[in-house]
Every structure is written in C-alpha cells, then in structure tokens.
C-alpha cells in the first residue's frame, strides 16, 4: 500500500454556494460576515469568502432582480441562495463562473440542503427565467438606485449630501476589489529594501506612501518573505498615515521617552507603527479584552513592546495613572463607511441611526481624553469613515467647545478615489487608499484667538 497522500478532490461549487448563501443570510439577519465566514469549514473558506464578498457587493442588484422574478420573497434560506446566485451571475463579464453553471449548481445546492429543498423547484424556475430574460430583467432594474449602486437608499442620499461632487465615484469605488497593501517594518528595512526582497521572491509590488507596498496580486501573508519574523504588516495606505502624522514635528522631551496613548488600539496596527518609528512609552488601550489579545499577538510577531490595557477609553479614572501624555491617537469607533470595499457587509449592516449614535460616542471619547494631554501635546483624531458627521463636523464642534484646541494642517476627509483627496498625500498614495478622516489637534496652554 503506497504511503503517498491521495490527491485533494476539488470542492463542488454547489457546496460553496450553500455556504456562501448561509453567510449572506447571516448578514441579512444582522450578523457580521467575518465570524460567519470563519465558521465555514476550512476546505471551503477561501472560495466561499470570495463568493460572499462578490455577492454582497452586488446584493442590491440581486434583490431587485429577485423582485422582478417573484412577487413575494421565499423563506430566508431560499431567498439568500437565490439572491446569491443572482448576484454572482447577473453581470456575465464579471461572473466567477458561467451563468449557466452558477444556475445549475445553485439548484443543486437547494436540493441538497434541508432548509431549501422544499424551495428547489421555485429557485430553479426563477433562475431558468433569469437565464432566458437576463438582458430585459437587468435593464428593468437599471433605474433603481439601490440596484445600480448596490448601497442602501439612505447611504446613497447621505453621500449626495456629504460629497455632492464625488458621491458617484465613492460608491463606485466601494464596489471594487481592494488590493493587498503592506507596511514594511521600518526597524527591519527601508521601503526599497522590502520591495527588492519581494521581487526576489517573485512578488511584484509598487510603493505606497513612505513605507507601504501594494501587491500586484494578493496572496497569503505567510508566503511573504520574513512575515513570521515581523518584516511586514497588512495596513491600508490611508491607515499608514496615522503614526507619521502624530509624530512629525512632535517635540521630544529631554531626559525621558515620549508618552503616547493609542486609544481604541485593537488590533494593534497603528500601535506597532508608532513603535516602529520612534522609541516611546506607548499605552495601547481597548475596551475588549479579546481584541487586546490581538494587540499582544501583533506586537509579539513584530518584536515590539507596549503596555496593553483592557479598559474603556472614555473612563480614564479606571486606568489612567495621572501623568499627562505627550501624544494621543484616537482611532474612534465609527460606521466603517470608508472601508466598505474591504468589508462589503458593512453597507447592509449599518442603519442611518448608527451615525448619530457613533458620533455621540466619538464626542464622548474626545472630551474624556483631551484633559489627559499635556500642554503643547497633540491628539490625532481619526475614523475610517466618509460621513462628515464622524469627521469634519465632529472636529469643528470640538474646537468650538475647547478654545485651547488648535487644528493643525491635516488631511481631513480622504475619499476612496483619486480625484477627491483634500491634499497633503504623497503622490504614490493619492490614487490608492480607503476612506479615512484625520484631524491633528494641538493643546495650547491658553485659549487661542477666535478665527
């Protein structure tokens, strides 16, 4: 009997569609796609995630098509499978498989799942009609904004209000597949050295910002040279701006290291970047103990150290030692509306009321952390949001309430499109980044004069 391992059998597409539809159903029920995908059997996970992300990026169109095909939606499991198939098949130019194959395998998936078997004939009838009348059905949904832009109606309206010149480009960018962007560990090598090491390993990458590298083709991070030894981190180009913005021009105290607080720090990417760029005493704070463990894991892989504290940044008496900080990085909880291309479930999970609720949390955190900053110190407020209520409007209100707060030159809203940046970006970053907001505040010892 041979000791050679049997060749791995390919996973049938119907099994992947079953699992992908299960994740779509979970998202529709209000659950994040991340844990739902993580619960998928490992042999299915990579393929299922790709199908899920594409389906979520086209879910508005799929639901509009389903409404054309059926007067009433079927039960949730069957509807999720039907809409997943429609989302993947409607645009033949970008379909992961031939539409006819997707339809056949979706019907097979329905037959083989107890939750959908009773609806298999209905799903078959809808999808066969879709194949026959595809052009007319798609044309009938083109005029529906949710179908055309694949975002909720309230989100589209908000973009028109917040960014009247660029809303279409932002929504269009949100439906693109993002690249994999790395940050070279500055304690290990320069950007050029890291790029050369990748090239030697047959991995093409282009410079992004001062330390970033955008891969021409995404790949598992453990295939990167030196990954396990801390040579790289995964971090979008916009997020890589945080640490340099906070540190550039920050006075270094004599006789001691800088004291820096990274509030809401998990999973630790910005904490690590701060430590890569300077020798500082950094406290990394997050309210979630499990996420704090991720900060520790991030730092351990990179060979860095910080004080990691599980506590609510909005309740300093519970954790602050009373010594002012020279710098504070507040990456505040937000809607994540700027990273929708990386997390396409966000657009379907969020409600418009979330914006006001999160803006209130952001204001509470700013008010709680500002007194912890030493005179002359700096606080960098940032969110991965494109909504002005979580960015520009938040900072304008804060400066109006705190006369000793001075807004230094800052990027402001970075929109996920090349032509809408507010300025101050490196040339090689201006065309590739997530949506973000940055405001750098300096504390003066007395109230600054009115503008």
Q: What is the pLDDT of residues 231-240, one digit of tens each?
A: 999 999 999 9
In this structure, are residues 363 and 394 in contact, taking their beta carbons and an 8 Å threshold? yes
Residue spans of beta strands (DSSP E) within 240-358? 258-263, 280-286, 307-310, 325-331
Domain 181-234 falls under CATH 3.30.70.1170: yes
- DSSP class of 322: S
What are 175's two structure tokens? 């439906």
Better-scored residue on pLDDT, 309 or 447: 309
What does the radius of gyration of the chain's CA atoms come to, in whole angstroms? 24
Please give the model's pTM, rounded to 2 decimal places: 0.92
The rounded distance, in Å, linking the Cα atoms of 357 and 342 is 23
Q: Which of 83, 292, 334, 384 is catalytic?
A: 384
**CA distance from start to end of the chain:** 85
What are 174's two structure tokens? 């949100």
What's the CATH number of domain 239-443, 3.30.910.20, 3.20.10.10, 3.40.50.150, 3.40.50.620? 3.40.50.150
Place of tokens 């891969």: 215
- Same fold for the pair 13-149 and 239-443: no
CATH fold of 13-149 reads N-utilizing Substance Protein B Homolog; Chain A (1.10.940)
The rounded distance, in Å, linking the Cα atoms of 206 and 191 is 10
Three-class secondary structure of residue 374 per DSSP: strand
The reported pLDDT for the residue numbered 445 is 77
The reported pLDDT for the residue numbered 183 is 97
The rounded distance, in Å, linking the Cα atoms of 344 and 328 is 30
Kind of pairing between the strands at 373-383 and 405-407: unpaired
The rounded distance, in Å, linking the Cα atoms of 248 and 264 is 21
- For the residues 132-155, what does the mean pLDDT come to? 97
Q: If we measure between CA atoms, which residue out of 135, 104, 142 comes closest to residue 14?
A: 104
Any alpha helices (H) in 261-377, and if so which ranges? Answer: 269-277, 289-302, 346-349, 353-369
- DSSP class of 399: H
The reported pLDDT for the residue numbered 9 is 66
The reported pLDDT for the residue numbered 451 is 36
Phi/psi of residue 203, nearest 5 degrees: -115, 115
Q: If we measure between CA atoms, which residue out of 123, 14, 28 comes closest to residue 76?
A: 28
Active site residue 264: no
Average confidence score pLDDT of the chain: 93
The reported pLDDT for the residue numbered 15 is 97
The reported pLDDT for the residue numbered 196 is 97
Place of tokens 């105290």: 253
pLDDT band at 87 (very low <50, low <70, confident <90, very high): very high
**Which run of H or of E encompasses 232?**
strand 232-234
The rounded distance, in Å, linking the Cα atoms of 125 and 103 is 10
pLDDT band at 254 (very low <50, low <70, confident <90, very high): confident
Q: Where are the domains of the chain?
A: 13-149, 181-234, 239-443
Distance of CA 290 to the CA centre of its chain: 19
The reported pLDDT for the residue numbered 253 is 87
Residue spans of beta strands (DSSP E) within 385-444? 405-407, 412-414, 436-443
Residue 292 confidence (pLDDT) above 70: yes
Q: If we measure between CA atoms, which residue out of 109, 98, 138 comes closest to residue 25?
A: 109
Work out the number of other CB atoms within 10 angstroms of the CB of residue 39.
Answer: 12
What are 51's two structure tokens? 């199908």
Residue 4 confidence (pLDDT) above 60: no
Residue 1 confidence (pLDDT) above 50: no
The reported pLDDT for the residue numbered 417 is 73
- For the residues 63-92, what does the mean pLDDT come to? 97
Task: For 313-346, write each residue's pLDDT tens digit.
Answer: 999 999 999 999 999 999 999 999 999 999 999 9
- For the residues 242-258, what does the mean pLDDT come to? 93
The reported pLDDT for the residue numbered 7 is 52
Task: For 366-377, write each residue's pLDDT tens digit.
Answer: 999 999 999 999
The reported pLDDT for the residue numbered 428 is 46
- For the residues 406-411, what does the mean pLDDT come to? 96
Task: For 171-225, write each residue's pLDDT tens digit.
Answer: 999 999 999 999 999 999 999 999 999 999 999 999 999 999 999 999 999 999 9
């Amino acid at each position: 009997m041979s000791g050679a391992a049997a060749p791995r059998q390919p996973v049938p597409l119907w099994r992947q569609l079953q699992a992908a539809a299960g994740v779509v159903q979970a998202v529709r029920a209000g659950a994040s796609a991340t844990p739902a995908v993580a619960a998928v059997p490992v042999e299915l996970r990579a393929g299922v995630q790709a199908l899920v992300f594409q389906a979520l990026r086209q879910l508005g169109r799929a639901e509009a098509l389903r409404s054309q095909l059926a007067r009433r939606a079927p039960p949730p499991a069957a509807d999720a499978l039907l809409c997943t198939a429609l989302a993947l098949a409607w645009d033949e130019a970008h379909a992961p498989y031939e539409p006819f194959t997707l339809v056949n395998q979706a019907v097979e998936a329905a037959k083989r799942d107890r939750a959908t078997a009773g609806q298999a004939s209905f799903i078959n009838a809808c999808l066969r009609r879709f194949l026959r009348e595809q052009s007319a059905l798609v044309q009938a949904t083109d005029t529906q904004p949710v179908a055309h832009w694949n975002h909720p109606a309230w989100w589209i309206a908000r973009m028109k209000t917040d960014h009247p010149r660029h809303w279409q480009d932002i929504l269009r960018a949100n439906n693109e597949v993002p690249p994999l962007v790395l940050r070279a560990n500055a304690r290990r090598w320069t950007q050029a050295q890291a790029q050369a090491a990748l090239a030697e390993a047959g991995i093409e990458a282009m410079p992004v910002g001062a330390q970033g590298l955008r891969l021409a083709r995404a790949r598992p991070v453990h295939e990167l040279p030196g990954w396990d030894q801390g040579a790289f981190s995964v971090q979008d180009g916009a997020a890589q701006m945080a640490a340099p913005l906070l540190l550039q021009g920050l006075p270094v105290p004599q006789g001691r290291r800088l004291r820096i607080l990274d509030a809401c720090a998990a999973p630790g990417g910005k904490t690590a970047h701060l430590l890569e760029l300077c020798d500082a005493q950094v406290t990394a704070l997050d309210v979630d103990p499990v996420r704090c463990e991720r900060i520790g894991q991030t730092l351990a892989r990179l060979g860095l150290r910080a004080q990691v504290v599980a506590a609510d940044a909005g309740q300093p008496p519970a954790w602050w030692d009373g010594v002012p900080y020279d710098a504070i990085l507040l990456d505040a909880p937000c809607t994540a509306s700027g990273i929708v291309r990386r997390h396409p479930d966000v657009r379907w999970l969020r409600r418009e009321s979330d914006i006001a609720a999160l803006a209130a949390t952001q204001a509470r955190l700013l008010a709680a952390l500002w007194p912890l900053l030493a005179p002359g110190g700096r606080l960098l407020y940032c969110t991965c949001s494109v909504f002005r209520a979580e960015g520009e409007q938040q900072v304008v209100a804060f400066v109006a309430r705190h006369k000793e707060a001075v807004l230094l030159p800052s990027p402001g809203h970075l929109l996920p499109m090349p032509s809408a940046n507010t300025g101050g970006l490196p040339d090689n970053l201006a065309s590739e980044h997530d949506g973000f907001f940055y405001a750098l505040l300096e504390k003066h010892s007395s109230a600054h004069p009115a503008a």
